[in-house]
Structures are given as C-alpha cells and as structure tokens.
C-alpha cells in the first residue's frame, strides 16, 4: 500500500466526514489524484463510502472488517508469533480478542504460508507471562473511554485505601498490569491485581497522555534517586514511585523534601543510595524522631 493510501485511511478512520478536497489538501496532492486513490482503496476492499450533496464527503463504515495487510512472508511470520504471545497475556482489556486473534489471522493467510506457520507454532517459544489475575483492566479501560476520574479500592501493604484517580493509561511490565494515574499526590503507578473495585465519578478527566506524563515528570531541575529495596520495600514503594529494574529514578529537585518524608515512613525496607542530600534528609528525620522520644 502506498504511504499516501495509509494517510487517507488514518484520516478517515477518525470517523469524520471529509471531502475529496480536504483529503487532497491534507495529502498535498491534486483532487484528481485523491479521487483515484479512493477508487483504488474501494476496489481493494477498504470500507469507504461517499455521501452526496453539499454536506457530503467520504467516511468509513463503523464496525467494519478491514482487509489483511500486505506483508512480506517474514513479516507475516513475525506478526503471527507476536500475536500468539499476546494471546497468552491474561486479562487483556479487550476481552474476546485474547486467544483468538492469532488464529483468525492465521486462517486468512495463503495456504502455503499457513502450513509453514503450523509447522513453526510449536518450535518458537516466548516466556509465558506469569501474571496474577487482573480482571479490572476492562473497568479501567471503560473509565478512560468515559473520560472521567474514578475511585479505586486498593490493597496496600498497610490495608485497603480508597484513592481518587485520573487515569493516564495501562502498562504491561514485568508480567504485571499497572495503571499510571494522577492523584492528589501527583503521578502514581498502581498494580491492577491489587485493585478490588473501580468506580466512575462525574468529574471530567484531564485526559493526560503517557507522553505528557513523561514531560511533566521531567519538568524543572532533575536529580537521580537510587534506592535499595527489600521484597516488602518493592510493595511499599508502589504508589510513590513506579518500579523499574534499575531501581533508579529521575525526580524533580522540588519534590525531594516530600519524597524524603514518604521514604522515611517505609523504614528499613527502603534504603537511599543517592543522592547524598536525600540520604542526609532521611538521617535527620531519624535523629529528630529519636529526640522526640527522649525524656
């Protein structure tokens, strides 16, 4: 497929009614060229239909079935293997797609390629996801679709908490489903398998994206924070900093005092390795706590 055809389909897939002139201007080609493109796409099975009249234009059918992608053989094999692996991930928020998509895709391929993939199916193995049950991924997806804030009942190491969240999005990391969300304490990450309830509120969401969240986290002067965690410390840190393999974070300097108070409350389960200023702040809090217990 031509790159211009892909752009036309991306424009129409936004469920907007666009005139041929608007499509031509967006693609930087003549009206006659875009009309030929639309005819070619229709001839190849793309579900484009036109509405006549002064307010008419082109759009795509809702709930349509798209024709298969034009892939080279090695690309088709790679895509099947990846779809097969995705099908093993529990609690994908898209329901019935899990476990079926790879087979549907396989049976749409030419018979010789389907036979080749049948021979390869048992010969390539990805690490099987060891993912705890996280059934509320679909509730979180519906919350994002509704574009409102929500409340979660979350099982922390110290008991249940009810937290108001403005969801940014779901991530699948280290074989776990996580939700990144804005809270009254800033951006926080929560494990979905530890959520007991998700409910909608009537408060509109700010609709922050992952990219915007990254930009917010990088705003202002940054300092590198490196921690040593016990297994309990990993769990206690949830809701404060998003876990990563390196145990290293880039944190705005302005947030260090607040972060120091949070980390101090986690006790011996979390040890600050750097920066020095944060280590000294933790020590100071410890001395002040001891002093408050002296007669």
| Burial of 256 (C-beta count, 10 Å sphere; 0-12/13-18/19+) | middle
Q: What is the pLDDT along the chain (295 residues), one digit of tens a residue?
A: 567 887 888 788 766 788 888 899 988 999 999 889 888 888 777 778 777 777 778 887 765 555 556 678 888 888 888 887 887 788 888 765 555 677 777 777 778 888 888 787 767 777 778 889 999 999 999 999 999 999 999 998 778 999 999 999 999 987 889 999 999 888 888 999 999 999 999 999 999 998 888 887 666 788 999 999 999 998 888 778 888 889 999 888 888 888 999 899 999 999 999 999 999 999 999 999 999 988 6
Name the CATH architecture for the domain at 3-60. Answer: Orthogonal Bundle (1.10)
The continuous run of DSSP H or E covering 146 comes out as: helix 137-146
- Is the domain covering 137-207 a CATH 2.30.30 domain? yes
On the CB side of 276, CA atoms within 13 Å amount to 0
Q: How distant, in Å, are the alpha carbons of 2, 55, 248, 260, 287 from that of 227?
A: 50, 61, 7, 12, 21
- Strand 195-204 relative to strand 148-156: parallel, antiparallel, unpaired? antiparallel
Which is nearest to 141 in space by CA: 93, 199, 206, 178?
93
Identify the sign of the CA torsion 269, 275, 276, 282. negative
CB 24 within 8 A of CB 34: yes
Per-position DSSP letters for 111-131, written without gaps between them: HHHHHHHHHHTTT--PPPP--
pTM score above 0.85: no
The residue extents of the domains of the chain are 3-60, 73-120, 137-207, 220-291
């Amino acid at each position: 497929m031509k790159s211009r055809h892909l752009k036309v389909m991306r424009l129409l897939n936004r469920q907007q009614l666009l005139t041929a002139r608007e499509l031509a201007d967006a693609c930087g080609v003549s009206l006659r060229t875009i009309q030929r493109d639309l005819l070619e796409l229709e001839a190849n099975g793309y579900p484009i239909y036109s509405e006549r009249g002064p307010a008419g234009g082109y759009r795509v059918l809702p709930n349509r079935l798209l024709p298969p992608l034009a892939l080279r053989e090695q690309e088709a094999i790679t895509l099947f293997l990846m779809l097969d692996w995705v099908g093993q991930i529990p609690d994908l928020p898209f329901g019935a797609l899990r476990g079926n998509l790879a087979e549907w895709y396989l049976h749409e391929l030419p018979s010789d390629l389907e036979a080749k993939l049948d021979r390869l199916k048992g010969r390539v193995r990805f690490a099987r996801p060891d993912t705890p049950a996280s059934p509320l991924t679909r509730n979180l997806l519906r919350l994002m679709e509704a574009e409102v804030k929500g409340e979660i009942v979350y099982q922390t190491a110290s008991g249940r908490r009810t937290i108001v969240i403005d969801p940014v999005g779901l991530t699948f990391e280290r074989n776990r489903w996580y939700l990144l969300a804005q809270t009254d304490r800033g951006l926080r990450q929560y494990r979905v398998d530890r959520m007991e309830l998700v409910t909608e509120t009537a408060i509109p969401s700010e609709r922050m994206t992952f990219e915007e969240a990254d930009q917010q986290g990088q705003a202002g002067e940054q300092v590198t924070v490196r921690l040593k965690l016990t297994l309990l410390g990993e769990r206690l840190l949830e809701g404060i900093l998003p876990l990563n393999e390196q145990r290293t974070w880039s944190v705005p300097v302005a947030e260090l005092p607040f972060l120091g108070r949070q980390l101090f409350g986690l006790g011996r389960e979390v040890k600050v390795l750097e920066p020095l200023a944060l280590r000294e702040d933790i020590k100071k809090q410890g001395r002040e706590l001891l002093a408050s217990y002296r007669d």
